[in-house]
């Protein structure tokens, strides 16, 4: 083997090692970053809870993952916990429970929710305490939802907003699970 062939082999070997290191760096750094960006923009919403409005279901400081695709093939249902853009300021993201569905009429009498003139209130086992007072009636528009926090006496929700209803197009995700400070399903 002559000198120039040996130099070429050494250069090829160095190039091969650099190429292998670059691929490993790409696999270890770039692929996970791209995957995380894809997940956060297409599949999931990550939310940190700032207030006590959803106690005792979700506490301040809890971190929640919501699934963006949850409502791709089905509509939100009563009692779903949703992550959405706040109707009065769409730059803010809120999390609340769906109480009223499209085209329903709601009344809140002595803290209990009645739907479409029923004499029987909703059974809401998740409510921390019954809210004070009576509200409504609220006629939920088509493609919109009436939402409330589980901690009704400490929740800024549909009862008090200027734009009372969450439009379906502003629902970002269905809350699925809490991952901090402990891992559990959110219901």
Question: What is residue 11's DSSP assignment?
Answer: H
CB 64 within 8 A of CB 95: yes
Which of 140, 141, 143, 123 lies closest to 75, judged by CA? 143
- Annotated active-site residue 53? The verdict is yes
Task: Using DSSP bridges, classify how beta strands 171-180 and 93-100 pair: parallel, antiparallel or unpaired.
Answer: unpaired
CA gyration radius, the chain: 25
Which phi-psi region, left, alpha or beta, contains residue 79 (left: φ > 0; alpha: ψ -120 to 50)? Answer: left
Please tell me which residue in 20, 51, 52, 96 is annotated as part of the active site. Answer: 96
β-strands 81-85, 93-100: how paired? antiparallel
* Catalytic site includes residue 96: yes
Catalytic residue chosen out of the listed positions 4, 40, 52, 53: 53
Catalytic residues: 53, 96
């Amino acid at each position: 083997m002559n000198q120039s062939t040996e130099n070429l082999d050494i250069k090829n070997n160095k190039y091969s090692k650099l190429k292998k290191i670059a691929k490993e760096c790409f696999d270890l750094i770039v692929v996970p970053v791209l995957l995380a960006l894809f997940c956060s923009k297409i599949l999931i919403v990550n939310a940190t809870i700032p207030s006590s409005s959803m106690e005792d279901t979700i506490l301040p400081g809890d971190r929640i993952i919501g699934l963006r695709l949850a409502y791709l093939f089905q509509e939100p249902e009563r009692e779903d916990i949703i992550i959405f853009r706040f109707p009065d300021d769409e730059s803010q993201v809120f999390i609340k429970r769906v109480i009223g569905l499209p085209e329903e009429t709601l009344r809140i009498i002595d803290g209990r929710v009645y739907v479409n003139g029923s004499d029987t209130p909703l059974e809401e086992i998740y409510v921390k305490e019954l809210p004070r007072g009576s509200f409504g009636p609220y006629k939920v528009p088509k493609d919109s939802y009436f939402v409330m926090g589980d901690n009704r006496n400490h929740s800024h929700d549909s009862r008090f907003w200027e734009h009372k209803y969450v439009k379906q197009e502003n629902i970002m995700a269905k809350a699925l699970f809490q991952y901090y400070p402990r891992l559990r399903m959110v219901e």
